């Protein structure tokens, strides 16, 4: 069985002082949380803090991630951060197409596909987010929506879809305290896995993460589902004890 991946998404939170406390807290408790078992761990931090957090993580084994990447390679794109720039800071992962970017920054499936391609070209693993809104779920459109979002990135130039990480994040569960039940999440993960299987023989290698109010109390049950390969954690990743509890739940 492949290792679980527990990735924190700090979103637009943190400061030099708070980041130091948070990373030191996670590092201090990591060995105890893992209890000799294995789990891949990452933190996706705001771009200005990449260098700081790279230094704080040091040789802890916790990987560094970004929360977005530009769809452009370089040039006159004020405010954008390119994949090559992320790579300069040893960034291993970049979240792409988070629902907050789709919702507040107008990112389309096409933009998400271009960003995914840029990350891969720079040697960064994109964590591509998919997920339905409450209205879409209520209308019985969950499957259609997540399949459309995944389809946009499934044919990659020169790369295999098995090189990406997928995160299923139902929009109605993000930051609301309303988690999808393990059964609801597993049902969607199974749909995504089937779609990956139709595209590549390596589909079982792909990590499909669940995100949306995952916390210390519900992580174990979610992570026990056959197609839930880890978590993308928002709020609970900002507290070392909560994040470590989720890592403990993911350690195998």
Residue span binding ligand 13P (CB under 6 A) among the ranges 33-41, 104-112, 188-196, 233-241: 233-241
Give the SS3 label for residue 9.
strand
Regarding 247 and contact with ligand 13P (CB under 6 A), the answer is: no
Rounded Cα gap, residues 153 and 27, in angstroms: 34
CA neighbours within 13 Å on the CB side: how many for 223? 26
Backbone CA torsion sign across 26, 29, 31, 33: negative
Stretch that binds ligand 13P, among 48-56, 149-157, 205-213, 243-251 (CB under 6 A): 205-213
The verdict on 232 binding ligand 13P (CB under 6 A) reads yes
249 binds ligand 13P (CB under 6 A): no
Choosing from 55, 123, 175, 226, the residue that interacts with ligand 13P (CB under 6 A) is 175
Which of 170, 212, 230, 250 touches ligand 13P by CB under 6 A? Answer: 212
Interface positions, 66-105, toward ligand 13P (CB under 6 A): 98
Active-site residue 202, yes or no?
Answer: no
Q: Which residue is nearest to ligand 13P (CB)?
A: 234
Nearer to ligand 13P, 97 or 199 (CB): 97
Q: For 137-151, give the DSSP string.
A: HHTT-HHHHHHHHHH
* Pick 58 or 175: Cβ nearer ligand 13P: 175
Sequential DSSP letters for 158-199: TS-GGGSEEEE--GGGTTSS-PPPHHHHHHHHHHHHHHHHHH
What DSSP element (H or E) covers 114? helix 109-121
Pick out residues in 7-36 that bind ligand 13P (CB under 6 A): 9
| 4 DSSP 8-state letter | P
Examine the residue annotation and report whether 189 is marked as an active-site residue of this protein.
Answer: no
Sequence length of the chain is: 252
Q: Closest CB to ligand 13P among 9 and 245?
A: 9
Which CB sits closer to ligand 13P, 214 or 251?
Answer: 214
Residue 250 near ligand 13P by CB under 6 A: no
H or E segment to which residue 28 belongs: helix 16-34
* By the rule CB under 6 A, 234 interacts with ligand 13P: yes
- Angle in degrees, 0-180, between the axes of helices 109-121 and 142-154, rounded to the nearest 10: 40
Can you give the binding site for ligand 13P, defined by CB under 6 A? 9, 98, 169, 174-175, 211-214, 232-236
């Amino acid at each position: 069985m492949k290792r679980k991946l527990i990735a924190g998404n700090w979103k637009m939170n943190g400061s030099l002082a708070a980041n130091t406390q948070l990373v030191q807290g996670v590092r201090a408790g990591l060995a105890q949380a893992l209890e000799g078992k294995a789990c891949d761990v990452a933190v996706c931090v705001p771009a200005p803090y990449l260098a700081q957090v790279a230094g704080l993580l040091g040789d802890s084994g916790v990987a560094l991630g970004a929360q977005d990447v530009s769809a452009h390679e370089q040039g006159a794109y004020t405010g954008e951060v390119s994949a090559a720039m992320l790579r300069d800071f040893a960034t291993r992962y970049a979240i792409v197409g988070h629902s907050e970017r789709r919702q507040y920054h107008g990112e389309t499936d096409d933009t998400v596909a271009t960003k995914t391609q840029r990350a891969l070209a720079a040697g960064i693993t994109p964590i591509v987010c998919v997920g339905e809104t409450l209205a879409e779920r209520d209308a019985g459109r969950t499957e259609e929506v997540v399949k459309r979002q995944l389809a946009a990135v499934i044919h990659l130039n020169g790369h295999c879809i098995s090189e990406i990480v997928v995160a299923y994040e139902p929009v109605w569960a993000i930051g609301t305290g309303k988690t999808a039940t393990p059964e609801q999440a597993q049902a969607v993960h199974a749909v995504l896995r089937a779609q990956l299987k139709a595209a590549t023989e390596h589909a079982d290698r792909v990590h499909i993460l669940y995100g949306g109010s995952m916390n210390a109390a519900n992580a174990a049950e979610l992570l026990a589902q056959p197609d839930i390969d880890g978590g993308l954690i928002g709020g609970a990743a900002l507290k070392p004890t909560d994040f470590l509890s989720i890592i403990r739940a993911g350690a195998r």
